């Protein structure tokens, strides 16, 4: 992104120091609110969480001083940690694959603009206007044994949230419903940036539909697909609302995600902020590594 | 023939997406055992909602206040910030911009634990203002980025002529440039509103006073009311109240909503 700022241009043509200084002072003046917000509510908290992670720091007693890595050991020794990691990864893979395949299908379906596809686009997009918590509450009622309209089809009651496997899939359905339109839109933007000439050339060369899709659409869609994948993976790894509302981590702690574990450490039962901070630093580190790997993987093949 | 067939199929798919929303709206007013609306159609479930604890009025007020404050804070900070990043060169500009974008990289949960402690120290515990400030911070990466590219899209001559006419850069911003970036402001405003209205985990951590919780948290809490028996009718009514403003806003301003994605996807 090239930035041609006016005062800079002005300063080049009239190389006066005073003017340059006034310009950067004004710039800082306008950037000051952003800088203050970022400092107070982002940089300082990062510092606090780092210190918290190596301190004996309970919810009600506050900071009791350095405890030499005990928080990290306690977080790693938790019997719920590895099942939660495994479940979160499983959930992320399932959600990302289903969501992106479906979103790509929907995007291809509605890419030509007409009144009918306009209606389809809006229908697919409406769920993404809802909050994740509202959508989860909606599906909580939809899945309930008392009020569910989905039970009319069978004599035997279906338990949507009763077993670990059904709870996972029921949540995936909710997430796919809520986000399919969102990712469809992201991919649609990518599809529409592919020039029509390319398709025309393919048509002249006698490529069939599948060849066109495989050899032209998919490669040219790579940037949008990469962005969608990274957003979907990151979002799913940090899943919280949907499980907090739908399953509360049950049945039998089978649907506890990592962020839920952080929340529980800090505010439920243990009230141990130090341990929660240690765990969330580990999560942050893992997330950074995963994103770097994704960036490399998704970018690398392109060049 | 083929056309009709594909219309039926795609139409069915669209209905599948619309079904849960329509069902929630219908179920919230239809008769159902175990709810306030046992016989006939009516608004019994909404009555339950109205009488729950502090009353739905209070929770709506909390949500509205938090959302409006977040929108105002976000618009003010990102308009000034975007102007600074787009139009001025100053030492630390790129570093500040990168740190602002870095907010996206850090999970909510990682930030909320120290923010809980920090807001206590600032005397903002359990406060809707504190909650709005935190929600504003979460909005800044998108908002500042969006406003920066909006200001960069203004032709340089426009601002130059404003400065030559003798406006200071503040008056140029106020009278000439802000009107020019209005579409960007609308997009930022919608996203800030939807995010604040719908956020769940932030108030869950930061607000412990049950009178002060916003609506999503109130509806979620309501489910654990009486001896583990869930009033699904009231939950459905709560979902309708939660979803209605979002859907109306979305349908009314769909073009701006889509624009937000376009800029994010193309330039991100």
By C-alpha distance, which of B83, B143, B175 is closest to A31? B83
Who among B81, B233, B249 is closest to A30 (CB)? B81
Residue A190 lies in a domain: yes
CA A125 to chain centre: 17
pLDDT of residue A152: 61
CA distance B183 to chain A (A): 19
Residue A240 lies in a domain: yes
Query: Are residues A34 and B24, on separate chains, in Cβ contact within 8 Å?
Result: no
Residue B70 lies in a domain: yes
Interface test with A, best of B35, B265, B266 (most A CBs within 10 A): B265
pTM of the model: 0.88
A46 touches chain B (CB under 8 A): yes
Tokens of A119: 């209606």
Query: Are residues A131 and B242, on separate chains, in Cβ contact within 8 Å?
Result: yes
Residue B161 lies in a domain: yes
Separation CA A278–CA A50 (nearest Å): 8
Neighbours of B14 (CB within 10 A): 19
Who among A126, A189, A241 is closest to B265 (CB)? A189
What would the pLDDT profile of B2-34 be if each residue is shown by its tens digit? 578 888 999 999 999 999 999 989 888 777 766
In the predicted structure, residue B1 carries a pLDDT above the cut 70? no
Interface test with A, best of B114, B131, B134, B255 (most A CBs within 10 A): B114
Residue A292 lies in a domain: no
A137 touches chain B (CB under 8 A): yes
- Which residue's structure tokens are 């800079």? A8
Q: Which residue has the higher pLDDT, A24 or B98?
A: B98
DSSP secondary structure, A92-155, as one string? HHHHHHHHHHHHHHHHHHT-S--HHHHHHHHHHHGGGGS-HHHHHHHHHHHT-TTT-GGGGG-S
Who among B84, B90, B239 is closest to A138 (CB)? B239
Residue B212 lies in a domain: yes
Residue A35 lies in a domain: no
What would the pLDDT profile of A220-252 be if each residue is shown by its tens digit? 998 889 889 998 999 999 999 999 998 888 788
Query: Are residues B114 and A190, on separate chains, in Cβ contact within 8 Å?
Result: no
pLDDT of residue A284: 93
A162 touches chain B (CB under 8 A): no
**CA geometry: angle B114, B120, B125, nearest 5 deg:** 110
Tokens of B210: 């049950």
pLDDT mean across residues, chain A:
86
Q: Which residue has the higher pLDDT, B198 or B228?
A: B198
Who among B27, B88, B216 is closest to A24 (CB)? B88
**CA geometry: angle A59, A61, A65, nearest 5 deg:** 100
Residue A142 lies in a domain: yes
Residue B106 lies in a domain: yes
CA distance B234 to chain A (A): 10
What would the pLDDT profile of A70-80 be if each residue is shown by its tens digit? 889 988 988 88
Predicted confidence band of residue A151 (pLDDT cuts 50, 70, 90): low
Separation CA A133–CA B219 (nearest Å): 10
What would the pLDDT profile of B247-257 be if each residue is shown by its tens digit? 999 888 887 77
pLDDT of residue B260: 64
Domain CATH number, residue B128? 1.10.3720.10
Domain CATH number, residue A134? 1.10.3720.10
Query: Are residues A38 and B137, on separate chains, in Cβ contact within 8 Å?
Result: yes
CA distance A180 to chain B (A): 10
A38 touches chain B (CB under 8 A): yes
Residue A62 lies in a domain: no
pLDDT of residue B233: 83
Predicted confidence band of residue A303 (pLDDT cuts 50, 70, 90): very low
pLDDT of residue A148: 72
Q: Which residue has the higher pLDDT, A50 or B50?
A: A50
pLDDT of residue A16: 65
pLDDT of residue A254: 87
What would the pLDDT profile of A254-279 be if each residue is shown by its tens digit? 899 999 999 999 988 778 999 999 99
Stretch A82-99: mean pLDDT: 96
pLDDT of residue B227: 56
Stretch A285-301: mean pLDDT: 84
Percent of chain A whose pLDDT exceeds 70: 90
CA distance B212 to chain A (A): 18
Residue B31 lies in a domain: no
pLDDT of residue A195: 83
Predicted confidence band of residue B188 (pLDDT cuts 50, 70, 90): very high
Structural domain boundaries enclosing B69: 48-267
pLDDT of residue B263: 58
pLDDT of residue B5: 83
By C-alpha distance, which of B170, B213, B236, B207 is closest to B30? B236
pLDDT of residue A249: 82
Taking CB atoms and an 8 Å cutoff, what residues of chain B touch A277? 113-114
CA distance A137 to chain B (A): 7
Residue A14 lies in a domain: no
Find the residue in A nearest to B222 (Cα): A137
Residue B262 lies in a domain: yes
What is the total count of domains within chain B?
Answer: 1
What would the pLDDT profile of B131-177 be if each residue is shown by its tens digit? 999 999 999 999 999 899 888 888 877 777 766 666 677 777 777 88
Residue A232 lies in a domain: yes
Stretch B82-99: mean pLDDT: 92
Find the residue in A nearest to B10 (Cα): A120
pLDDT of residue B50: 80
pLDDT of residue A10: 47
CB pairs under 8 A between A and B: 281
Predicted confidence band of residue B228 (pLDDT cuts 50, 70, 90): low
Neighbours of B242 (CB within 10 A): 27
Separation CA B168–CA B162 (nearest Å): 8
Structural domain boundaries enclosing A188: 81-255
What would the pLDDT profile of B203-221 be if each residue is shown by its tens digit? 999 998 888 999 999 989 8
DSSP helix/strand/coil, A210: helix
Query: Are residues B93 and A133, on separate chains, in Cβ contact within 8 Å?
Result: no
Q: Which residue has the higher pLDDT, B167 or A86?
A: A86
Stretch A30-48: mean pLDDT: 96
pLDDT of residue B242: 93
In the predicted structure, residue A119 carries a pLDDT above the cut 60? yes
What would the pLDDT profile of A197-215 be if each residue is shown by its tens digit? 888 888 888 888 888 888 8
Query: Are residues B83 and A124, on separate chains, in Cβ contact within 8 Å?
Result: no
Predicted confidence band of residue B265 (pLDDT cuts 50, 70, 90): very low
What is the total count of domains within chain A?
Answer: 1
Paired with A66 in beta bridges are: A55
Query: Are residues B110 and A281, on separate chains, in Cβ contact within 8 Å?
Result: yes
In the predicted structure, residue B266 carries a pLDDT above the cut 50? no
Greatest Cα pair distance, chain A, in angstroms, is 85
Separation CA B228–CA B230 (nearest Å): 6
For residue B128, what are the CA distances in angstroms to A248, B72, B111, B209? 26, 14, 18, 11
In the predicted structure, residue B195 carries a pLDDT above the cut 70? yes
A131 touches chain B (CB under 8 A): yes
């Amino acid at each position: 992104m090239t930035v041609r700022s006016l005062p800079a241009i002005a300063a080049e043509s009239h190389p006066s120091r005073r003017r340059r200084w006034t310009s950067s002072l004004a710039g800082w003046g306008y950037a000051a609110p952003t800088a203050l917000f970022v400092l107070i509510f982002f940089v300082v908290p990062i510092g606090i969480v780092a210190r918290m992670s190596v301190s004996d720091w309970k919810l009600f007693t506050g900071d009791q001083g350095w405890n030499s890595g005990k928080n990290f050991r306690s977080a790693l020794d938790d019997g719920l940690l590895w099942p939660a990691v495994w479940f979160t990864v499983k959930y992320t893979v399932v959600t990302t694959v289903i969501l992106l395949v479906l979103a790509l299908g929907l995007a291809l379906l509605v890419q030509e603009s007409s009144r009918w596809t306009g209606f389809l686009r809006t229908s697919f997009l409406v769920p993404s206007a809802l909050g994740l918590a509202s959508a989860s509450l909606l599906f909580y009622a939809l899945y309930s044994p008392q009020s569910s309209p989905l039970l009319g089809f069978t004599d035997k009651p279906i338990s949507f949230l009763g077993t670990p496997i059904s709870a996972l899939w029921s949540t995936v359905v909710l997430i796919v419903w809520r986000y399919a339109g969102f990712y469809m839109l992201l991919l649609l933007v990518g599809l529409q940036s592919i020039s029509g000439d390319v398709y025309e050339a393919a048509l002249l060369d006698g490529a069939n539909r599948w060849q066109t899709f495989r050899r032209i659409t998919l490669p040219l869609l790579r940037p949008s697909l990469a962005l969608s994948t990274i957003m979907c993976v990151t979002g799913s790894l940090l899943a919280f609302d949907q499980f907090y509302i739908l399953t509360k981590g049950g049945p039998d702690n089978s649907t506890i995600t990592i962020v839920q574990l952080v929340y529980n450490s800090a505010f439920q039962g243990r009230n141990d902020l130090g341990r929660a901070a240690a765990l969330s630093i580990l999560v942050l580190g893992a997330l950074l590594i995963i994103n770097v790997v994704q960036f490399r993987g998704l970018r690398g093949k392109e060049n | 023939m083929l056309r009709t067939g594909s219309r039926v199929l795609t139409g069915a798919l669209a209905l599948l997406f619309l079904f849960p929303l329509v069902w929630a709206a219908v179920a919230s007013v239809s008769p159902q055992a175990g709810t306030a609306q046992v016989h006939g159609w009516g608004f019994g479930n909404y009555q339950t909602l109205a009488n729950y604890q502090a009353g739905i009025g209070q929770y709506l007020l909390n949500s509205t206040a938090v959302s409006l404050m977040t929108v105002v804070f976000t618009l003010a900070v990102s308009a000034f910030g975007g102007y600074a990043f787009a139009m001025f060169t100053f030492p630390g500009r790129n570093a500040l911009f990168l740190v602002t974008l870095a907010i996206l990289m850090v999970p909510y949960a990682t930030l909320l634990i120290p923010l809980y402690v920090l807001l206590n120290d600032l005397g903002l515990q359990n406060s809707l203002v504190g909650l709005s400030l935190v929600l504003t911070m979460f909005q800044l990466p998108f908002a500042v980025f969006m406003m920066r590219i909006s200001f960069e899209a203004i032709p340089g001559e426009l601002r130059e002529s404003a400065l030559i006419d003798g406006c200071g850069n503040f008056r140029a911003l106020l009278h000439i440039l802000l009107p020019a970036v209005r579409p960007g402001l609308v997009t930022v405003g919608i996203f800030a509103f939807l995010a604040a209205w719908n956020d769940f985990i932030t108030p869950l951590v930061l607000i412990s006073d049950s009178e002060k919780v916003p609506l999503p948290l109130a509806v979620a809490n309501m489910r654990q009311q009486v001896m583990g028996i869930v009033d699904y009718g009231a939950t459905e009514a709560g979902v309708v109240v939660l979803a209605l403003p979002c859907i109306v806003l979305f349908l009314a301003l769909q073009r701006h909503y889509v624009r937000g994605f376009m800029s994010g996807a193309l330039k991100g």
